[in-house]
A and B are shown apart, each in its own frame.
Chain A
Amino acid sequence: MFYVSIFFQYASQYLKTRLTYRVDTIVEIFSDLLFQAVNLIFILVVFGHTSLLSGWNREEIIFIYGFFLVPYAIFSSFFNIWDFNDRYIVKGEMDRVLTRPIHSLFQIIMERMELESLFGVITGIVIMYYAGSTLGLTFAWYDTFIFVAMVLGGAFIYAGIFISLASIGFWSDSRTDIMPMMYNIGNYGRYPVDIYHRVIRFVLTWILPFAFVGVYPAAYFLKREEWYFYAFLTPVMGIVFLSLAIFLWNSGVKKYRGAGN
């Protein structure tokens, strides 16, 4: 409960600063939209050359992309920790975080949130609605709850991977370029995994399970029964990866060396 009220405190402060920089906020939302449009156009261009991609048609791929946008929007609103190493460890901001009576990871999530990214949820739902109605998909009432569970699972997987990577900073403060690479690999989950080589499919399922953020859960709503097992594994994978990441983080904090003055 305490953490929920702290969240609202931070969120209201965030909105206040955002309102003082109105133009920035609008520009950011606009550039997000542009980015999503480019991705969509890319899918359309690919399907200008072919009508099926390993047995998936254009609307299905668009639906997967729309689904992917929702957990990704939640992830990018709350887990902006790609620059954790620079911002908190090298500059020593972690010292300040550790002198406050709230869990350190929670504080960083609160400090780094970018609520305007949540706009992606709307874009995603609009895209899914378009693709879904073209495909003539029908949904039951309980699908809403399954949708929420799948979205959270996907967001947790993303969060877990990035928190784990950020935790490396506690052991080694050398710069790595692993974070941007991870963002790229994350995009692979937007396409059906059966178009990839076996090895890549294995990696995307069990090691860097980005497939659980896009194609697997979307397969449930597309009624692709051969993928149901993976689809229902999504929330489980999310919880497992997030728990591992938090464990890694907590052991990292013990190893924190601080920055010299």
Chain B
Amino acid sequence: MNRVVITGQGTINALGMSVPETLDAMSNGVCAIGPLAFDNVDRLNIQIGGQIKGYVPQDHFNRSQISLYDPFTQFAVIAAQEAIAQSGLDFTKELAMQTGVVLGTAGGGLQTQDNNYRTVYQDGKNRVHPFVVPRLMNNAAVSHIAMIHGLQGPSFTVASACASSNHAMGQAYHMIRSGMARVMVTGGSESMLCFGGIKAWEGLRVMSPDGCRPFCATRNGMVQGEGAAVFVFEDYENAKARGAEILAEVIGFAMTSDASDIVMPNRKGAANAMRLALRDAGVGPDDVGYINAHGTATAMNDKVETAAIRDALGAAADRVMVSSTKAMHGHLIGGTGAVELLAAIAAVKDGMIAPTINHTKTDPDCDLDVVPNIARQEKVKVALSNAFAFGGLNAVVALKST
């Protein structure tokens, strides 16, 4: 089996318009969650989120692109640009045939749907813009990245709610491992911060009106974010031969299905996903220095995830650092695993352990080292990144320093 390494990373999210900006914000424990600004926000009960501030599409795209790209595509294209530029890859005719794009998203072009439903239902118009379908389709981001960079290998979009990005990156990893592809552009994107997007989530009563406080006794729900992160996964031999800078090695991936409940998390399913990821990676619980938790800050998730980490790691759970960066950038739903992989890479590459901010009171049900409030500098060999989706679909990525 081929070894798989990461040679490029890119992002745009509430913490920053690039990877350096985002990592700087994470290491300083910046909270990018604030008042939401969009049409009809006054009709929402939940009015906070991790919205990208100062984002002007015209700074990145021409008019034709803007008319064709939903925000979730714009974010993915921007992140891919940064990742591919960093990788230094030159997509020759031969390499382009062996390079694909697999991204995760849950809502796809939700803002396009929201705007056009408003046009036909609320405004009573009988005509919509011709690009509604090419904008809203969930594979639009993948296809535009493939077109821009001429990538002709295996490409598709994965949708598994909050685990979409981890599932996508798992597919990319397996494709290189098996020899199906030499390079994969992978990650995820989401742009659900619009009236319809938040209104739908309000219905479930799992959203916090005042902030995201993972693993804290005062936590009262999740807060949404938006943006994308995209990575270049590459066959290790290919990266080595061209002298590329290797950010981290992907050493394992596992996924499980709880087969139990459509919204409630499940301790056994989550624990098994972590156990199987470690087995796939060929490492033991003691090797794991950092876990980027799913850590949504709902009452149930954080309690169940803590128990699952204890089940999977045993005594080593008392020594592992666990943090949820969602308190800083919000929950990016289908894009969240990708943005959170940035923190896992920073841990194994630079020893920068992103904190769990907004932590004011210890919860006995969340008795792990959650790296409260302040980032740490500590050498980490192996990191896990967890994503547990509604519907009980769990996906865990394992990384190693090189």
- The yes or no verdict on A and B being binding partners is no
B residues apposed to A, CB below 8 Å: none
